[in-house]
Chains A and B, each alone.
Chain A
């Protein structure tokens, strides 16, 4: 699945979709993320790997300011998306999150119909008013999430009635529907069976033609399969960041090597 077209892209700060400098996150007394500098490219999949509690999910939640919703979390440092600092006082996190969509570890469809799940984002952001336009967005999003054919005849059935893999694709469709530019995925396959996982991975590979995808994963194989670039986190620090192929075959840092060979983690 390695795509040479995107290789080498986004390595320099000026072409980065997301540029992070000196990021620190504290949860109460815990220093969860330390001194992270990274440039994340557009239209590519960037994987964040590392042992549990290494700060990779916390880092991910900084990118759309989801940590704002946790009272004890304190974030410092700079995150620029398209060159704009997302911590700027003028930035509205609500608008930011429409631009930076998120898919969570456990599929979390709302207890509504499939249609209403997908239409939720466009409705709250006031993107569309007319029913016909909304239906169009719903169809387009479900198609892009590779779910349309399975649900087109039961759009009014509850989203919670779908299988786990379908639910997760519904959540992806829901995130796509607000037409974001970046998709954050927090271990999206951790609660799915291997077949559903394969479907999602295939979907992620397609999504990178439109979005910058950042995916946190616990599985090194998954990172190797879907991503073009990989960052390895350990004890709150980003230890190594580079092309996925290089990081897995020829890691620069001994800690990365220990992790990918299974000695830590």
Chain B
């Protein structure tokens, strides 16, 4: 019996449990549902939960523990039938079926909420485990402190994270230097100056940028921005001949971040109470003086939080840098040179034929863990700042 048919059989048993328990409850009460403690349907559902719960648990346990055997399948089905019989025996008018059902449902709801924890645990544990394997083969000091990244097929690779970290931070910095002023000014204009109609057209248009998948930005970097920067800036200035560069990836990522910064800032600026604006305008300040000297300082913590979230986004971004930044691990200052990032190297070490015993593959998990640690701390910090800011005006 395949897993699918076992599950289907279980469902059939459970469905018959529903029908039987419901009918039995009504029969016990002599057809008068008012004599029952709960609605007839509750007795049916209680039976379904009692039947499916243990059987599914056993099924999952067997599935994880051992390859499926006919004996295991039989055991599962037998358990389901036994539970069905027991649940029918319990179906009496004074059985508190609704409470049983609701407790079962609540447990399911809670289980669903715990998926979030399980995901985080899965992320951390899987990366920790493989990272430990990596550091068993490769000195961790070399990994964190070496300035060379040169994986070799035959082994004896240099796997220093510093050039990748540098590329990541350099590109993110350019992206933020572009996106933060543009996004912030756009948000200010939208929140403080724009008329209703202008806002109704422009705001969604800017937000379209946020809905475009990053692969599209990647292609934009590859076929448009890269060649443009190379032909009009890098080559005439003698700074490089590569379309893929820190500048290409940084600018395109900046465009991606504009709506992110602007919609977060817009929310934050909107939370600054109108009374502060009135206070400033009432003293004879112009709008821009009010914004610069009252609204922005009041919104500053929130905006800092938004910038940190944007930074975390930039650091974890993959497709734009895969297509726009290049693959050469380098420590340099020339923004028109190709450099590479942590995410690019995770992709390149884990795609294709990978040998999960070699440090060249395992290093990806150490890179992933580092990336996770950096973005997590940025997020936690940012969320804490933003929450604190919200409380201030609540």
* Whether chain A touches chain B in the assembled complex (some CB pair under 8 Å): yes
Which chain B residue shows the least CB distance to A106?
Answer: B275
Q: Assess whether B278 is in contact with A94, with CB atoms less than 8 Å apart.
A: no
Q: Assess whether A108 is in contact with B289, with CB atoms less than 8 Å apart.
A: no
Which chain A residue shows the least CB distance to B285?
Answer: A124
Q: Give the size category of B's interface with A.
A: 20 to 34
Q: Assess whether A120 is in contact with B284, with CB atoms less than 8 Å apart.
A: no
Which chain B residue shows the least CB distance to A175?
Answer: B283
Q: Assess whether B282 is in contact with A66, with CB atoms less than 8 Å apart.
A: yes
Q: Assess whether B273 is in contact with A108, with CB atoms less than 8 Å apart.
A: yes
A105: min CB distance to chain B, Å: 8
Contacts of B279 in A (CB 8 A): 104, 108-110, 171, 174
Q: Which of A95-103, A232-240, A252-260 lies at the binding interface?
A: A95-103
Judged by a CB distance under 8 angstroms, whether B294 is at the interface is yes
Judged by a CB distance under 8 angstroms, whether B293 is at the interface is yes
Contacts of B196 in A (CB 8 A): 71
Judged by a CB distance under 8 angstroms, whether B376 is at the interface is no
Judged by a CB distance under 8 angstroms, whether A74 is at the interface is no
Judged by a CB distance under 8 angstroms, whether B157 is at the interface is no
Q: Which of A98, A106, A108 has the most CB of B within 10 A?
A: A108
Contacts of B283 in A (CB 8 A): 97-98, 101-102, 120-121, 124, 174-175, 178
Judged by a CB distance under 8 angstroms, whether A111 is at the interface is yes
Judged by a CB distance under 8 angstroms, whether B298 is at the interface is yes
What is the count of residue pairs linking A and B with beta-carbon distances less than 8 angstroms? Answer: 69
Contacts of A174 in B (CB 8 A): 279, 283
Judged by a CB distance under 8 angstroms, whether B195 is at the interface is yes
CA–CA, A101 and B286, complex, Å? 14
Judged by a CB distance under 8 angstroms, whether B33 is at the interface is no
Contacts of B285 in A (CB 8 A): 94, 120-121, 124
Contacts of B282 in A (CB 8 A): 64, 66, 97, 101-102, 104, 175
CA–CA, A125 and B280, complex, Å? 12
A239: min CB distance to chain B, Å: 27
Which chain B residue shows the least CB distance to A160?
Answer: B392
Contacts of A69 in B (CB 8 A): 277-278, 281
Residues of chain A from 113 to 158 with CB closer than 8 A to chain B in the complex: 120-121, 124-125
Q: Which of A66, A95, A110, A112 has the most CB of B within 10 A?
A: A110
Contacts of B294 in A (CB 8 A): 110
B134: min CB distance to chain A, Å: 48
CA–CA, A180 and B298, complex, Å? 26
Contacts of A98 in B (CB 8 A): 283-284
Contact with B along A82-100 (1 / 0, CB 8 A): 0000000000011111100
Q: From the candidates B275, B284, B286, name the one contacting A121 in the complex (CB within 8 A).
A: B284
B195: min CB distance to chain A, Å: 7
Judged by a CB distance under 8 angstroms, whether B181 is at the interface is no
Contacts of A66 in B (CB 8 A): 278, 281-282
B163: min CB distance to chain A, Å: 43
B367: min CB distance to chain A, Å: 42
A181: min CB distance to chain B, Å: 13
Q: From the candidates B276, B281, B298, name the one contacting A97 in the complex (CB within 8 A).
A: B281
Judged by a CB distance under 8 angstroms, whether B297 is at the interface is yes
CA–CA, A163 and B363, complex, Å? 58
Assuming the A-B contacts A71-B195, A108-B273, A111-B297, are A125 and B278 also in contact, with contact meaning beta carbons closer than 8 angstroms in the complex? no
Which chain A residue shows the least CB distance to B279?
Answer: A108
Q: Assess whether B276 is in contact with A125, with CB atoms less than 8 Å apart.
A: no
A64: min CB distance to chain B, Å: 7
CA–CA, A254 and B181, complex, Å? 60
A104: min CB distance to chain B, Å: 6
The 5 listed contacts between A and B (C-beta, < 8 Å) are A66-B281, A94-B286, A97-B284, A101-B283, A102-B278
Residues of B in contact with A (beta carbons under 8 Å apart) = 195-196, 273, 275-286, 289, 293-294, 297-298
Residues of A in contact with B (beta carbons under 8 Å apart) = 64, 66, 69, 71, 93-98, 101-102, 104, 106, 108-112, 120-121, 124-125, 171, 174-175, 178
Q: A97-B282, A110-B298 are in contact. List 9 more A-B contacts (CB 8 A).
A: A64-B282, A66-B282, A93-B284, A94-B286, A104-B279, A110-B294, A111-B276, A124-B283, A171-B279
